Structure 1
Amino acid sequence: MSTTVIGISDRVEAAPTLRWPSVPKLGVAAVFTVWLIASLWSVVSLRLNLATFVDSVGNAVDFVSRIFPLDFPPLGELARMTGQTLAIVTCATALSVALSVPVSLAAARNTNRHGWLRLGMRAVIVVTRALPEIVLAIVFLRLFGLGPAAGILALGIHSVGMVGKMYADAIEDTAAGPRDALRAAGATWSQQLTGGVLPQAMPAFIATALHRFDINLRASVLLGYVGVGGIGMELSLAMKTLNYRRGIALALLIVGLCVVIEMISGAVRAAMLGNPAPKRASRWSRLRRRVADASGGWVDGGAVASNADARYPISPPWSAGRVLRFGYFGVTAAILVVSVLGADIDVSRMAEGVATMWSTLRLFVPPSTGGIGGELVAQLLVTVQIALAATFLGLLLAVPIGVLAARNVAPSQGVARFFRIVIVVVRGIPDLIFAIIFIVITGLGAPAGALALAVGAVGLLGKLIADSLEESDVRVQQAVAAAGATRGQVFVAATVRQCAPALAAHVFYQLDVNIRAATLLGVVGAGGIGFYLTNAARVLQFDVVTMIVLMVFAVVLAVEGLAIWIRRALS
């Protein structure tokens, strides 16, 4: 009898209980419901429907007939503008790295114990990320005139927002052991950084710099529309004069250049970084030997050979790998020198601009609506509508592509590789190129901007979805499959369920990106507040420029804060 009672008790205790969702998760569900309703409203409001596409078929056919044969510039001119673009991007990326290293060291918790300074540096990172590069270019063009200097400074300072954040995160992720060992051996703060922190973070530093180079290459095209040199300026001149043969030829050149640079940077990352795990182990081993020598040959209570023992040299040997890495850095330094010379920066003009800096900056304050405050608010709403519609439509396009690009979900490895290539190709095409094509087909306005960003979202959102699916725990999927679930059931119940928090965060990250991009695409007539931004700059209403930047900045911060809250609520 007692045994039976115990069995019943066990069954009662094991019975599942009804649990209501937590308050944060209910809040996330409410936020996504509002986002979905707002996105559908934006799609309807911008008239992104089948009728719009049908009406644009004639324009598309006419556009195709007007771009052939393509008119590529002469080879010498092509080499000149390509070299100038690459020089601007290289110098800008190097400038961002030089600025980001001290900023990230001051922003990381393990290298700076002063809370007020960390907060200040984090604020610098947020502000530089939120300031559009085109606004910085407008400021620097006013200071230093037309030319590459404005583009280098604009891209370099704006890049601190991403590079500084990634560097700070990489520094905080470093192991404390090497630095603690150096501190115990009496090393100074700078020696601790150079010997125990920076070597660990170096792989992430290199990968981030190369990734930022790709992004800056795409952004440099847009800056050509405000007077920065290179291919972007030639493209803007061709499109403004309706020379579509030359314009599309230059657009294809930009696409090819972006894809090639992305492939080269990927190969360079793999060659320079290799397998990071063995490198970290070898650095730690060399560090222990250095500390052992400084402390008389004793580490962790055990004796190790001193510097006198030739088997434990203080400096690592010049192996083939070390020589190759040294060669890579030498080539990088040479490329940087050539880029600085090729950018042809007018130093005297820059000196004049620095002398008049404060008088120029005073033109931007205090901010003013210029008597069109109502119109600015309306156009800001249009910009948000463009971003909402583009994120929603982009999600519809990116989900199937991202799913088929995930190696653990795709029907075969060949299918996964094909869709990975599709994602790489789409990522290699700047949003500006998509915007130009849709403007010609659908006409000026917000629909062109929304469609351009929707297609462009396949590159970023598709990659994020594929990566999240591949990072899911395979053991959970195998357990569900072992219980007799079909392939579709395994995908929904195991794979998607694990990735749901990350996928939710990706949607709002894409919305954040699209709000910034929608502002910039207004420069070429793709609707929204970006048109008023460039217009104000052209008529020298710099106080209006400041007001528009502050309005966009407020919206971006709100979306970014919402995305952070969603990630925490779902974690």
Structure 2
Amino acid sequence: MARPSRSGSAAWLVIGVLVALGLWAIGDLRINLATLADSAHNAVDFAGRMFPLDFPPPGELLALSGTTLAIVVSATVLSVLISAPLAVLAAANTTPGPAARPAARGLIVLARAMPDVVLAIVFFRIFGLGAITGVLAMGLHSVGMVGKLYADAIEQIDEGPRLAVRATGAGRLQELLAGVLPQVAPAFVATALHRLDINLRISVVLGFVGVNGLGYAIATALQRLDYRRGMAMALLVLLLCVLVELLSGAIRRALLRGGSDSAPSAGPGQVRPDWTAARIRRTGFLALATAVVLASVWGADLSPAQFLGALGHLGHTATLFWPPDTGGLLPTLLGDLVETVKIALAATVLGAALALPIGALAARNVAPSPRVARAFRVLIVLVRGLPELVLAIVFVVITGLGAVAGTLALCVGAIGLLGKLVADSLEEVDPGGEDALRATGATRWQVFFAATLPRAAPAFVAHVLYQLDVNIRSATLLGIVGAGGIGFDLLGASRVLEFGMVTTILLLVFGTVLLVELLALWLRRVVR
């Protein structure tokens, strides 16, 4: 048996330290059964104040839903338009020069580290009320995820077609369009649809800083302590998230997999493939997607004149946020930042511990029956549809202000994301090792622990590190509703117009996220 390398041993030691810190954070934040038991009567009281749900009139519901979806779709399209060329610059095999790649990667990391709430605060100062604030905030923040995944997809292409196009004397743009784009189109579409799901949940967060739609309606209701109306609107967001998840899954299957009835390749003299059922279905989804994008841009009422006119105030707004200022509260800010990291670590460890069995039961090759796998897939979809900010508000009411509420909200959110990633990773394991063990008479559990789990372990490590990255940024946002951490300072500074302190908080969060990003890159490279 080969001895582990020194770097591999160091990586597993670091992972062990992170797990130990997460367990310590759970204890230090007093996340235990006693805390939950003490809060049980609050949960019963909250349920009594929440039911029966109070939905607004159907016309108002449709208007709010339409506004939210228009903003979300427009923001996702904006992120794709920015991310595609940025990914070409950031990918090692398509970057035009050695300086372009680190610059593009730096912009992608900056977009990921910039909390969308902070972007919304900045754009609110520039553009005022309106959908354009939400579109820009969500769209630019989404570049952090979309741009990274697009660049990774470009780096994984088969170089043969691109080199063949280059050999014909084609220019750089032709090389990208003919040799790269056809290979990465499936990944690009899947990433955009996945980001659409995420942005729908983010829209609830932006409602708390004035972006119109369902999120703003939820924020207004909860600020009045009208839990019946607020939770009714939150339920509508959940239903929309589930609907978007199902629709995007159908689109991914139609556009990315031709199916058994996919069109045959064109023969000699044949201009285009036959119109098979698969091709008609794909074309229909493309037409539907185009119509939705155009309707969203129109429905969001995005005004180029408003955008260009407001750019004249950009210089003045920049002076409000610079230079950074601590207001004499640097020790407090650092303490709250440490609490934010503790919340993220505790939620990641708890979420991972719960997501592993749930994700395993959702994987078709692990679950005892297809019915069980479908049931747990539905559970994961439902959990993913719950906006974490709404969960944080519920837990704040039940457990009180502080880090416990934030940790529990992020833990539930982690179950949704990690559960899906775990299930997908298990289903992608090469079945050869599993079949070999089954042939020896091994039981289901022996096959899982000896063949399936070890092969998926490196992917699990990458997913958990990604979840930690997400949780640090999410913990910052949950603080705006009293769920602990530095987010409360962020909201307070923006409300009293202390924009220099907003910049300081942003730099602290950015530095923390960057350190986690660098650590995650190293661990993903070493752990195989």
TM-score range relative to shorter protein:
over 0.9
Deviates more, 1:174-183 or 1:128-137: 174-183
**Which amino acid in the other structure matches residue 39 of structure 1?**
G
Contact 2:11 2:523 in 1 (8 A): yes
Matches within 5 A, 1:484-495: 484-495=441-452
| Contact persistence 1:409–1:491 (CA under 8 A) | yes
Asked if the contact 1:515–1:556 (Cα under 8 Å) also holds between the matched residues in 2, the reply is yes
Query: Aligned to 1:226, what secondary structure does the other structure show?
Result: coil
1:185 to 143, 151, 168: 168
**Distance in 2 of aligned mates of 1:228 and 1:533:** 17
Larger mean Cα displacement after TM superposition, 153-162 or 186-195: 186-195
Q: Is 2:503 aligned against 1:563?
A: no
1:412 aligns with 2:373: no
Please give the residue correspondences for 1:246-395 in structure 2 after superposition, counting only pairs within 5 Å.
Answer: 246-275=229-258, 282=265, 311-313=268-270, 315-316=271-272, 319-320=275-276, 325-395=282-352
Question: Per the alignment, in what secondary structure is the counterpart of residue 99 of structure 2?
Answer: helix
Label 1:148 to 1:61 Cα distance change in 2 as closer, same or farther (>3 A).
same
Deviations 1:243-284, CA, capped at 9 Å, x for gaps:
0110110010110111011101111121223338998994xx
Distance 1:277 1:172, change over 3 A: farther
Tell me which residue corresponds to 1:230: 213
Structure 2 SS opposite 1:115: coil
Pick from 173, 180, 192: which aligns with 1:197? 180
Task: Output the CA distance in 2 between the equivalents of 1:545 and 1:452.
Answer: 24
Per the TM alignment, residue 109 of structure 1 is displaced from its structure 2 partner at its CA by: 2.9
2:22 matched residue in structure 1: 39
User: Structure 1's 395 and 518: CA in aligned 2 closer, same or farther, altered over 3 A?
Assistant: same
Larger Rg: 1
TM-score (norm 2): 0.94
Change in Cα spacing, 1:149 to 1:51, as seen in structure 2 (3 Å) is same
Structure 2 runs not aligned, ≥5 long: none
Checking the alignment, whether the CA contact within 8 Å between 2:197 and 2:241 is kept in structure 1 is yes
Partner of 2:10 in structure 1? 27
Write out aligned runs for 1:520-531 (5 A). 520-531=477-488
Q: Report SS of the residue matched to 1:411.
A: coil
**1:423-468, CA deviations, whole angstroms, 9 ceiling, x for partnerless residues?**
1111121211211211111112110010011111111111222222
Deviations 1:509-530 (A, max 9, x none): 2111111111111111111001
Checking the alignment, whether the CA contact within 8 Å between 2:264 and 2:274 is kept in structure 1 is no
Q: What is the percentage of aligned positions where both structures have the same residue?
A: 55
One-letter code aligned to 2:142: S
Give the letter for the 1:319 counterpart. W
- CA 1:484/1:267 → structure 2, altered by over 3 Å: closer, same or farther? closer
**Residue 193 of structure 2, aligned match among 210, 218, 221:** 210
| Deviation readout 1:288-327 (Å, 9 max, x if unpaired) | xxxxxxxxxxxxxxxxxxxxxxx335x4357355565444
Q: Check the 8 A contact 1:200/1:280 in 2, yes or no.
A: no
Is structure 2 residue 425 aligned with structure 1 residue 468? yes
**Aligned partners of 2:418 and 2:467 also within 8 Å:** yes
Deviations 1:175-202 (A, max 9, x none): 3333333333332322222222212222
Cα distance change of structure 1 residues 162 and 278 upon mapping to structure 2, 3 Å threshold: farther
Which of 40, 56, 61 aligns to 1:78? It is 61
CA RMSD of aligned residues (A): 2.2
- Structure 1 length normalisation: TM-score? 0.88
CA contact (8 A) 1:536 1:542 kept: yes
**1:435–1:452: 8 Å Cα contact kept in structure 2?**
yes
CA distance in 2, matches of 1:344, 1:260: 24
Paired AA for residue 272 in structure 2: P
Partner of 1:169: 152
Q: 1:66-88: per-residue Cα shift (whole Å, max 9, x none)?
A: 11221101111111111100110
Contact 2:339 2:485 in 1 (8 A): yes
Q: Which amino acid aligns with 2:197?
A: D
After superposition, give the CA deviation of every residue in 1:12-61 in whole Å (9 maximum; x if it has no partner): xxxxx7x6543223213321332232112211221112221111111111
Work out whether residues 8 and 527 of structure 2, in 8 Å CA contact, stay in contact via their aligned partners in 1.
yes
Unaligned runs of 5+ in 1: 1-16, 287-310
Structure 2 letter corresponding to 1:405: A
Residue 505 of structure 1 deviates from its aligned partner by 2.3
* Residues 1:94 and 2:51 aligned together: no
Compared CA separation, residues 183 and 27, structure 1 to 2 (3 A):
closer
**Structure 1 residues 316 and 191, CA, compared in 2 at 3 Å: closer, same or farther?**
farther
How many correspondences in the alignment? 527
Please report how far the alpha carbon of residue 491 of structure 1 lies from its aligned counterpart in structure 2 after TM superposition: 2.3
Is 1:427 equivalent to 2:427 in the alignment? no
1:474-513 equivalent positions in 2, closer than 5 A: 474-513=431-470
Give the distance between the partners of 1:319 and 1:230, measured in 2 at CA.
40
Structure 2 residue matching 1:444: 3-state secondary structure? coil
Separation in 1, partners of 2:219, 2:33: 30
- 3-state DSSP of counterpart to 2:269: coil
